[in-house]
Amino acid sequence: MATINFKEAIRKYTMAIALVIVIIIFSVTTNGTILLSQNINNLLSQNAYVFVLGTGMLLCILTGGNIDLSVGSVVAFVGGIGAVLMQRGTNAFVAAIVMIIAGGLVGAWQAFWVAYVNVPPFIATLAGMYAFRGLANVVLQGYAVSISNKTFLNVFGGGADCYVPDFFGGSGLNITCMAFGIIAVLVYLFIQIRGRVSAVRKGYSVKSAGGFYAQSVIISVVILFLSYKLAGYKGIPSSLLWIVGVILLYFFITTRTKIGRYLYAVGGNEKATQLSGINTKRVYFFAYTNMGILTGLASILTVARAASAQPTYGNMYEMDAIGACFIGGASAYGGTGSVFGTIIGALLLGVINQGMSIMGVDANYQKVVKGLVLLAAVIFDVLSKREKK
Amino acid sequence: MGNILLEMKNITKEFPGVKALDNVNLTVEQGEIHALVGENGAGKSTLMNVLSGIYPFGTYTGDIVYKGEVCQFQKIKDSEEKGIVIIHQELALVPYMSIGENMFIGNEQLGRFGIDWDKTYAEADKYLKMVGLEESSRTLIKDISVGKQQLVEIAKALAKHAKLLILDEPTSSLNETDSKALLDMLLRFKQDGLTTIIISHKLNEVSYVADKITVIRDGSTIETLDNQTDEISEDRIIKGMVGRELTDRFPKRPGVQIGDVAMEVKNWTVYHPQYEDKKVVDNVSINIRKGEVVGIAGLMGAGRTELAMSIFGHAYGTNISGELYLNGEKVELRTIKEAIEHKVAYVTEDRKGNGLVLSNPIKINTTLANLSSICSKHVIDKDKEYQVAEEYRDKLKTKCPTVEQNVGNLSGGNQQKVLLAKWMFANPDVLILDEPTRGIDVGAKYEIYCIINDLVAAGKSVVMISSELPEVLGMSDRIYVMNEGKMVGEMSGAEASQEKIMAAILRS
């Protein structure tokens, strides 16, 4: 039985380790402020869109380093549609579904040109970036439209009450939140152990026992820590539910489904994939349409959090998403990358932002640091690959 | 002769965890053609990379003595200044630049105002004439054949005033005629005093052209044979390479029953995808029976790959006409998916470019063409995937630490096995193997032949396209000969010979 050795594990989880180090540094420089319940809550809900867009972007990047530049504009456009609908009295869920569909249609429009007409993705989505920014202005007629629909705000993470209600009504610590955390840990451990037992029984190679327990313990502790922290504020922000849902779904899609496998294969060797009887055009179409759908969801979360839609929303969101993917170890040539990595990348960017904001670093320098972190992550990736050769 | 030009003494080169070269010694005399042979991974290319400064001085131990002086090359430019020029197996030419531009990259012909293009092209034409290439130096690289590109590489080396030319597998992508021409050219250059080191897998070429043959095995020099004094046969060289006698290069296939016709192609015509009035395959008819190995011989560009790929779900060409029968039933295979569903598989000649996803593990490559069979409702059963990959690793004796290993890290022979595993797992009745042993060593070739025998023993049909005539002759029950898109001959394995096949090509 082969084991995954320590060095390899370090290399695999470098960015996660970097994240921990960055958090430790900031908790020292901010005297622990960054670890306050409210700040952790803010970190997650402020960056909800990065998680969602980053996941979608990952699928595009997997197909060969292709990116979608239009997502920022589409967030504003779809957000505008939703806000205008709700202003005219549309039901919150109808509005949300319309927004998802609108995102999907935008995605399909661009996906069509990319997949079936072979327009380079960079250009197809650059065109979308201009066009949908313009349309966002048209839909909103240049104004900010506020959203007052309570249901919409509560469900998608805006306003004061966008938290999962505490069914137990405990004072102080939010018991529902803790319960969720504990259940999540139990489910996680159950799945892990069952998988390992069955693998061992069938005689497959598994991770070393030490690595397995270390991983299980670390992840359990992280989940419990987060739920404890969130319980100390207002409980589970509703946007977190959507993030977790997206992460779990796309983790499954990328690792366990045919289409997920095809995304990696197309990015690794398109010709070989074609000759294996796989319709590669459909793979591209899937990636970009899916990006649109997730952009729809990101737009919902964005306008809900702001309780309004403005034509300028979503500016540079595409770059945050792309940055999260590359920091998380996705290859700029396609074929490698993971949802886990993207989440770490998004968190790293978020923590750096927040940490520096709390420290009162000038916003302009924050951008400099963000840029350097992205560069450092990619340099590290390149160097560690070279070492392997 | 007799003057020692180059001596490499006790060269040892280590990579993390591997000793690639272990005290290798190589002596090359002025004006000789010296062949380096050995199995894949034996260290031939590493040795040449040390010599040419790709691995700079200090990363290896031992001495390079060239023209009597100890050299410490830091980079390729250093060795090139001394007249040592290496031509790699993978050609390093820029497709969208002209022949002339390519020849003088890094060696630009400067005039008073930047690059002097008239001089560049005049010089280029001069060297092109020397290698006998009748192309204008202003032609773009992408518009000439691989054989001609190889000549451009040699011309490029000559333009650098090469005294010692190193060729790494120069004929691996050439057909027999072009290979012969290239070797004859080397013999001509030898008359003019050029010294050549040639790395090759093709032993007949080595014994044809080389004065001395150095055999390398597992990073050590085994022996140096002299073509004049020693009696050198291919078997003798193979013995040195693998350390054992290969009594039979082609495994026997006793008692395989040849059954009914499995696939029949009638009046198959295919046009070029870009130049739509050019016939690439012209009215070809072939058939193949169950349990039969059918070889398709021909020169490069004969249309063999194009024939195979157009049968395989129209993966090549436009305006395809003709009839295709599988087990006597007429079928239309318009997509690759349909072809796979009808149990036809095509194993590409270009395993890195068209066959494998190098950045993915073995298990993922193994199942890619038949993912549905390890899925329930679009969800992959990872356990089953692992099982399948392990099963084929056992069956094909693929050498790898685990099936989680990325295919890019495997040797050529093992990559070829993964590629075969992938298509065997797709469970075809008819397998078309395009150059199944290209660029892999003698031992791995033998194993691939064994796999082919197992396949036909299980009642499958194998079509083998190969440019190596001994292989076609050694493995086929029946042989078709193609030339310029047409079928120009058919003969049984028993009656076929190299001469007959070449005659069929030349007569057409």
Whether A63 and A107 share a structural domain: yes
State the nearest Cα–Cα gap between A251 and chain B, in angstroms. Answer: 13
Give the C-alpha separation, A277 to B315, whole Å.
Answer: 10
**What's the pLDDT at A389?**
44
Residue B448 lies in a domain: no
- Residues facing residue B140 across a β-bridge: B98
Among B242, B261, B282, which residue terminates a domain? Answer: B242
The alpha-helical segments, DSSP class H, found in A117-201 are 121-140, 150-156, 175-201
| Residues B145, B214 within the same domain | yes
B337 to A277: CB separation less than 8 angstroms, yes or no: yes
The answer on B145 and B45 residing in a single domain is yes
| Judgement on whether residues A226 and A85 belong to the same structural domain of the protein | no
Same domain, B291 and B423: no
Shared domain check, B80 and B218: yes
Predicted confidence (pLDDT) per residue in B141-164, tens digit = 888 887 888 889 999 988 888 899
B447 falls within a domain: no
Asked if residue B151 is part of any domain, the answer here is: yes
Q: For residue B315, is it left (φ>0), alpha (ψ between -120 and 50) or beta?
A: alpha
* Domain end among A204, A221, A236: A236
Domain shared by B93 and B178, yes or no? yes
Report chain A residues whose CB lies below 8 A from the CB of B357: 264-265, 268-269, 272-273, 335
| Percentage of residues of chain B with pLDDT beyond 70 | 97
Chain A residues whose beta carbon lies within 8 Å of the beta carbon of residue B353: 269, 271-272
Q: Is the pLDDT of residue B245 over 60?
A: no
Domain match, A25 and A136 both: yes
User: Average pLDDT, stretch A82-105?
Assistant: 96
Looking at the predicted structure, is the pLDDT value of residue A2 above 50?
no
* End-of-domain residue from the set B242, B264, B288: B242
Are B4 and B25 contacting, i.e. CB atoms less than 8 angstroms apart? no
C-alpha B504/C-alpha B459 separation (Å) is 30
* Domain presence at residue B449: no
- Asked if A276 and B346 come within 8 Å (Cβ–Cβ), the reply is no
Q: Which domain holds residue A376?
A: 15-162+237-383
Q: Quickly state the pLDDT bin for B282 (edges 50, 70, 90).
A: very high
Q: How confident is the model at residue A93 (pLDDT cuts 50, 70, 90)?
A: very high
Clarify whether residues A85 and A194 are in a common domain: no
Same-domain check for residues B414 and B434: no
| CA distances for A244 relative to A55, A99, A238, A241, angstroms | 11, 20, 10, 5
pLDDT digits (tens, 9 = 90+) for A41-57: 999 999 999 999 999 99
ipTM: 0.78
pLDDT of residue A326: 92
Q: Give domain status of residue B383, yes or no.
A: yes
Above 90 in pLDDT, residue B96? no
The predicted pLDDT at position B324 comes to 95
Nearest CA in chain A to B356: A272
pLDDT cut 90: percent of chain B above it: 39
For residue range A293-330, list pLDDT tens digits in order. Answer: 999 999 999 999 999 999 999 999 999 999 999 999 89
Shared domain check, B269 and B153: no
How far is B67 from B56, CA to CA, in rounded Å?
19
- Residue B246, pLDDT above cutoff 80: no
Give me the phi and psi of B440, to 5 degrees please: -120, 160
More confident residue, A383 or B32: B32
Residues A147 and A35 grouped into a single domain = yes
For residue A268, what is the nearest residue in chain B, using CA coordinates?
Answer: B357
What CATH number corresponds to the domain at position B113? 3.40.50.300
Secondary structure letter of residue B374 according to DSSP:
G
Closest-CA distance, A209 to chain B, in angstroms, reads 18
- Considering only CB atoms, B354 lies closest to which of A204, A205, A271, namely A271
Cβ separation A273–B422 shorter than 8 A? no
- pLDDT higher than 70, residue B385: yes
Clarify whether residues A243 and A226 are in a common domain. no
Query: Closest Cα of chain B to A277: distance in Å?
Result: 4
Question: Can you give the residue range of the structural domain that contains B394?
Answer: 354-427
Residue of A1, A208, A269, A286 best to disrupt the B interface, most CBs of B under 10 A: A269
Top-ranked range on mean pLDDT: pick from A151-155, A207-211, B130-134, B467-471:
A151-155
Nearest to A277 among B369, B375, B386 (CB): B369
Q: Tell me if B357 and A204 make a contact (CB, 8 A cut-off).
A: no
Claim to verify: residue A120 and residue A266 sit in the same structural domain: yes
Residue in the block written with tokens 């901010």: A30
Buried b (16+ CB within 10 A) or exposed e, A240-278: bebbeebbeebbebbeebbbbbbbbbbbbbbebbbbbbb
Domain match, B328 and B466 both: yes
A132 and A206 both lie in a single domain: no
* Torsion-angle region of B193 (φ positive above 0: left; ψ -120 to 50: alpha; else: beta): left
Residue B349 clears pLDDT 80, i.e. is over it: yes
Kindly state whether residue B456 falls inside one of the protein's structural domains: no
User: Is there a single domain that holds both residue A313 and residue A218?
Assistant: no
Task: Give chain A's domain count.
Answer: 2
Whether A389 is covered by a domain: the verdict is no
The single-letter code of the amino acid at B383 is D
Residue B308 shares a structural domain with residue B378: no
Q: Which amino acid is at A14?
A: T
Residue A143 lies in a domain: yes
Q: Are B106 and B232 part of one and the same domain? A: yes
- Residue A8: inside a domain: no
Helix (H) or strand (E) holding B345: strand B344-347
Instruction: Count structural domains, chain B.
Output: 3
A280 and A274 Cβ atoms separated by less than 8 Å? yes
Written as six digits, the tokens of B205 are: 């070429």
Q: What is the CA radius of gyration of chain B?
A: 24
Mean pLDDT computed over every residue of chain B: 87
Contact yes or no for A277 and B336 at CB 8 A: yes
Kindly state whether residue A6 falls inside one of the protein's structural domains.
no
Structure tokens at B188: 């001509």
In a domain, B455, yes or no: no
Return the residue of A nearest to B350 by Cα: A272
Q: What confidence tier does B508 reach under pLDDT thresholds 50, 70, 90?
A: low
B348 domain residue, yes or no = no
User: Last residue of some domain: A216, A236, A256?
Assistant: A236
Same domain, B312 and B202: no
CB count in 10 Å sphere of residue A10: 11
The secondary structure of B226-258, three-state, reads ECCCCCCCHHHHHHHHHCCCCCCCCCCCCCCCC
Residues A155 and A188 in one domain: no
Asked whether B291 and B461 are in contact (CB, 8 A), the reply is yes
What is d(CA B331, CA B349) in angstroms, rounded to the nearest whole number?
A: 25
The DSSP letter of residue B353 is I
Same domain, B126 and B262: no
How far apart, in whole angstroms, are the C-alpha atoms of residue B413 and residue B74?
A: 32
Cβ contact, residue pair A205, B404, below 8 Å: yes
Global pTM?
0.79
A5 within domain boundaries:
no
Q: What is the CATH number of the domain that holds A154?
A: 1.10.3470
Chain B residues within 8 A of A271 when measuring between CB atoms: 353-354
Token pair, residue A102, equals: 């609108």
The reported pLDDT for the residue numbered A63 is: 94
Name every chain B residue with its beta carbon within 8 A of the beta carbon of A205.
402, 404
A118 interfacial to chain B (CB closer than 8 Å): no
pLDDT at B46: 86
Report how far residue B259's alpha carbon sits from residue B472's, in angstroms, rounded to the nearest whole number: 21
The better pLDDT of the pair B422, A205 is held by B422
pLDDT at B465 over 80: yes
Place of tokens 């990872």: B382
The per-residue pLDDT of chain A, averaged, comes to 90
Query: A226 and A241 share a domain?
Result: no
A158 and A192 fall within a common domain? no
Q: Which two tokens stand for residue B283?
A: 């009215």
List residues of chain B with CB under 8 Å from any CB of chain A. 312-313, 315, 335-337, 339-340, 346, 348, 353-360, 364, 368-369, 371-372, 375, 378-380, 382-383, 386-387, 401-402, 404, 422
